[in-house]
Structure 1
C-alpha cells in the first residue's frame, strides 16, 4: 500500500515555496545530524522560517522526515527521467541511467544517510522509496522486452537486481570514492550487464 505524502500540497505559490524551503532544510538537517539528533528548530533555522510555520505543514519531525524520503525519491526519479529523455534503447538507458545516478549521489551527499536511516524510523516509507523505483523500472524493462531491445526474462527480478548494483555503486563511487571517473565505473558494469560473467 502506497504512503501518501504527509504535507498537504499548498494552494498558493508562496505556500509551495515555503514547503520547498522546509524540505530542503530538512534534507540538510537530517543529512548532517541524522534523525535522532536533528530538530524542528534546526530545520526552521536553516529554512529561515518561524518555528510556528513548520506546524502548518507538518505535525512532527517524523512526518517531515517521512515526506522528505518520498521527496528525495521523487527528485531522483525526475533527475533520471530528464537525463534519459533523449535515449531510445534500453541498453543505452541503463548506461546513461547509472552514470546519472552516481552523479546525483555525488551532488546529494545526504541521500544515503537519510534513506538508509528511514528503515529504522519508518520501515513502510523506506520500502515505498525502493518499491516506487522498482515498479517503474519493471515497467520500463517490460516495454524493452516487448520491443525486442532485451531478451525475455523476469523483469521484476531484473529491476531489483540492477537497482541493487546501482545502490552499492552509488555508495562506493558516489560517497566513498568521488575521484574515480564515472565513465570508468559505468563501462565495467555495462560490460557485465551486456555480456554476463561467462567466459
Structure 2
C-alpha cells in the first residue's frame, strides 16, 4: 500500500489518503443534511457539494452518482446506530438490556434526527436497501434475545417476531416524541413500554 494511504473507497475503488477520507466524510455529512431537508428526489449533487463547500467535480472522485452517496449514507447510519446500541448494552445486566437499548436508540436519534426522513425515503428510492437496513437492525436484536435464552430469562418465543416488535416500539416512540415534538421520550412512556415488553399487557 502506498505511504499515507489508509482507506479504500467502496464506491469508486480509489485508495484514499487521510485528506481524501476527510473530504468523503464531509460529503456524506452534507448529503445527510440535504437529503434530510429536501428529500432524495429533490436533492441534487450541486446542493450536496455546495453544502460541503467543494467543487462539483470533487464529488465524483468519491461517489459515481447521487444514488451511490445515498446508499452509502444509509449504510453508514445503520453501522453507527448499531454500534452505538451495542456499546450501550454490552456491559449491561440481562434484565436491563432492553431498556438500555431503547435509551441508546432514542439518544442516537435525538442527535441524528435526519435518520427517519432518510431511511423512510428508501421505501421508494430502493426497497432492497430499505429492507437491508431493518434486517441488519433485527439481527442485533435476535442475537441479544438468544443471549437471554441462554440465561433462562425469556419465554421460548420466535426471536424474529420479537425483534421486529421491539424495533416497532422504538421506531414509533422515537417518531412520536423525538421526531415530531423535538422532545426526549418521557420516562413514563418508556416505563410503559418496558412494562409491556417484560410483563405483557393482560393481567
Normalised to the residue count of structure 2, the TM-score between the two structures is 0.88
Q: Does 1:135 align with 2:139?
A: yes
- Determine which of 31, 34, 55 is the counterpart of 2:39: 34
Deviation at 1:65, TM superposition (A): 0.8
Normalised to the residue count of structure 1, the TM-score between the two structures is 0.90
- Determine which of 70, 77, 81 is the counterpart of 1:72: 77
How large is the RMSD of aligned CA atoms in angstroms? 1.7
- Determine which of 76, 82, 93 is the counterpart of 2:87: 82
- SS of structure 1 residue aligned to 2:41: helix
Q: CA-to-partner distance for each residue in 1:71-124, whole Å, 9 max, x for gaps?
A: 1111111221222232131x3111011112122222212110100001100111
Q: Measure, in 2, the Cα distance between the counterparts of 1:133 and 1:115.
A: 12
- SS of structure 2 residue aligned to 1:36: coil
Aligned residues of 1:10 and 1:16 also touching (Cα < 8 A): no
Equivalent pairs counted in the alignment come to: 194
Partner of 2:155: 151
Q: Measure, in 2, the Cα distance between the counterparts of 1:10 and 1:104.
A: 30
Aligned residues of 1:109 and 1:175 also touching (Cα < 8 A): yes
Q: Measure, in 2, the Cα distance between the counterparts of 1:75 and 1:163.
A: 16
Partner of 1:53: 58
Q: Measure, in 2, the Cα distance between the counterparts of 1:53 and 1:40.
A: 11
Q: Does 1:104 align with 2:141?
A: no
Tell me: higher relative CO, structure 1 or 2? Use CA pairs within 8 A at least 6 residues apart. Answer: 1
Q: Measure, in 2, the Cα distance between the counterparts of 1:95 and 1:146.
A: 19
Aligned residues of 1:142 and 1:155 also touching (Cα < 8 A): yes
Assess, with a 3 A threshold, how the Cα gap between structure 1 residues 10 and 173 changes in structure 2: closer, same or farther. Answer: farther
- Determine which of 15, 19, 23 is the counterpart of 2:24: 19
Assess, with a 3 A threshold, how the Cα gap between structure 1 residues 7 and 130 changes in structure 2: closer, same or farther. Answer: farther
Assess, with a 3 A threshold, how the Cα gap between structure 1 residues 122 and 14 changes in structure 2: closer, same or farther. Answer: same
Which segments of 5 or more consecutive residues in structure 2 lack a partner in the other structure?
1-9
Aligned residues of 1:9 and 1:16 also touching (Cα < 8 A): no
Partner of 1:187: 191
Q: Name which one, 1 or 2, has greater alpha-carbon Rg.
A: 2
Deviation at 1:10, TM superposition (A): 4.3
Aligned residues of 1:69 and 1:115 also touching (Cα < 8 A): yes
Q: Measure, in 1, the Cα distance between the counterparts of 2:15 and 2:192.
A: 45
Which segments of 5 or more consecutive residues in structure 1 lack a partner in the other structure?
none
